[in-house]
Amino acid sequence: MKKAFLGGRLRQLREQNKLTQAALAQRLDISASYLNQLERNQRPLTVQVLLKINQEFGLDIQFFSEEGDARLLAELREVFHTEMQEDAVTAAQLRDLVDNTPAVARRFVRLYRDYREADELAKTQVLGGTPANSAANARTAFEDVRDFFYDKRNYFEQLDNKAEAIFENASLSIGHSLDGLTRRLRNRHDIEVALVDMPEGGQIRHYNAQEHVLQLARSLRGGQRAFQIALQIGLLEAQSEIERQVSTVEFATNETRELARIGLAKYFAAALIMPYNAFWKAAEKSRYDIAWLSRQFGAGFETTCHRLSTLQRPTQKGIPFFFLRVDRAGNISKRQSATDFHFSKVGGSCPLWKVHAAFDQPGEILTQIAQMPDGRTYFWVTRTVASGYGSYGAPGKFFSIALGCDIQHASRMVYSKGLDLSDPEAATPIGAGCKMCPREKCTQRAFPMVGKSIEIDANSAGFAPYSSD
């Protein structure tokens, strides 16, 4: 463990437990003067002290993780680079804010997010007669739930354990769970599954509680039907575990709480058809071959990628992935992560990121070694997925799915075969969106970086008034 000066976190822990320095020092079996030095960052926090803290308070070690602050630091950097034209706040000052007063930093980001939402709504006509405040609440709810999953590192041990227990109890089979799940729903809950052309409400599923019928769209594949039935079982049999997780966070609205419940039920559904132990062993054995895992467990490409991003059981850790779903316009509609990665919410994502190129080669798996401006290098696997449940001419869904990890883990994946992962020239320089990217000479730049002046000449990038064509 490298030297970690995290006095602010230690002070936060002490204040949360309403302890004096002398009282906390006594519980940690250290001197009060040593504790004072730790809190003032005059001494680094040692492994021995961390272990003692964990023993005394049962605290998740992520509370003191520097890596866990990466997203918060990136969001703060985005806030200040976006709004501050003069008197720029330095990287060291932002780091101090995150280290010493993380609650203040998070509150600042939240206030800025609320300001951006209000500003956007003031400038945008809301279509379809939807009240502006409802649109704002919906967007905020989604962001809050994304943050909730991120803060939990996209891993919920109680739900995984519950899913494995039900899998065994119901005598389900890997890759062939549809019939077993249907039987459990009927025998245990007196609920029948009905395949219909269009479920009530126009969605792919609808549960009629009065008639005890779960309607599923007839166009769903077997694996998709299994997932929807597993979702219903999760809402019924994992309710206490789901509520326990939701109660750990003070969500702002009932809408946000309900959205979190649905997200956790979907997590449970994936864990039921892809139980942790079996899925982790298969992932390691296949070197994270997504197509092979999809066939083995009867799940789609997107669902399999999503499940891979949750393998963080302490005794059976998989690769810490980040999972994203992107549409043609560059909107990131799903964003889950077992580690830290941040894309800007301002000005779109980077056009050099290969997730966009996947749309030109539908169904093909593409790989990319990409380096961010901070020097961190990542390995990406991306492919498109498509679905359509309506009649001829009805619009379907078309997304690019991206699964990424730090370059240090890339050799564990089958997709890195034949690539020189150590070659610095193999990495494509990308950024977190043009308005936040400091790469001034990038030929794909669409906008100048916010707060930066640019040199205007005949070779200026794509935001010039006329193109060379």
Please write the tens of the pLDDT for every residue from 52-110: 887 787 665 556 665 556 677 777 877 776 554 545 677 778 877 887 777 788 888 87
- CATH number assigned to the domain covering 157-289: 1.10.10.2910
Read off the pLDDT of residues 171-220 as tens digits, 9 standing for 90 and up: 999 999 999 999 999 999 999 999 998 898 878 999 999 999 999 999 89
Task: Check whether 388 has a pLDDT greater than 70.
Answer: no
CATH 3.30.450 fits 319-436, yes or no: yes
Q: Which of 332, 156, 180 is nearest to 322 (CA)?
A: 332
Distance CA 309, CA 338 (A): 6
Position 467 pLDDT exceeds 60: no
Residue 103, exposed/middle/buried by CB under 10 A (0-12, 13-18, 19+)? exposed
The letter for the amino acid at 9 is: R
pLDDT in tens, 213-254: 999 999 899 999 999 999 999 999 999 999 999 998 888 888
Query: Considering the domain 7-65, what is its CATH architecture?
Result: Orthogonal Bundle (1.10)
Is the pLDDT at 344 greater than 60? The verdict is no
pLDDT at 114: 74
> Does 126 have pLDDT greater than 50?
no
CB atoms within 10 A of CB 201: 9
Q: Do domains 7-65 and 319-436 have the same CATH topology?
A: no
How far, rounded to the nearest angstrom, does the alpha carbon of residue 270 sit from its chain's CA centroid? Answer: 16
pLDDT at 426 over 80: yes
Using 50, 70 and 90 to split pLDDT, how confident is the model at 360?
very high
Position with higher pLDDT, 331 vs 165: 165
pLDDT digits (tens, 9 = 90+) for 255-284: 999 999 999 999 999 999 999 999 999 999
Instruction: Tell me the pTM.
Output: 0.76
Q: Report pLDDT for 347.
A: 47
- Sorted by where each begins, the domain ranges of the chain are 7-65, 157-289, 319-436
Name 253's Cβ contacts closer than 8 Å, sequence gap at least 6. 137, 141
Distance CA 437, CA 451 (A): 11
**37-51, 154-168, 328-342: range with lowest mean pLDDT:** 328-342
Nearest to 157 by CA among 230, 264, 51, 233: 264
Amino acid type, 153: R
Q: Which residue has the higher pLDDT, 148 or 114?
A: 148
Going by DSSP bridges, is the β-strand pair 205-208/213-217 parallel, antiparallel, or unpaired? antiparallel
Whether the Cβ atoms of residue 214 and residue 193 lie closer than 8 Å to each other: yes
Residue 463 scores a pLDDT above 60: no
Percent pLDDT > 70 in the chain is: 81
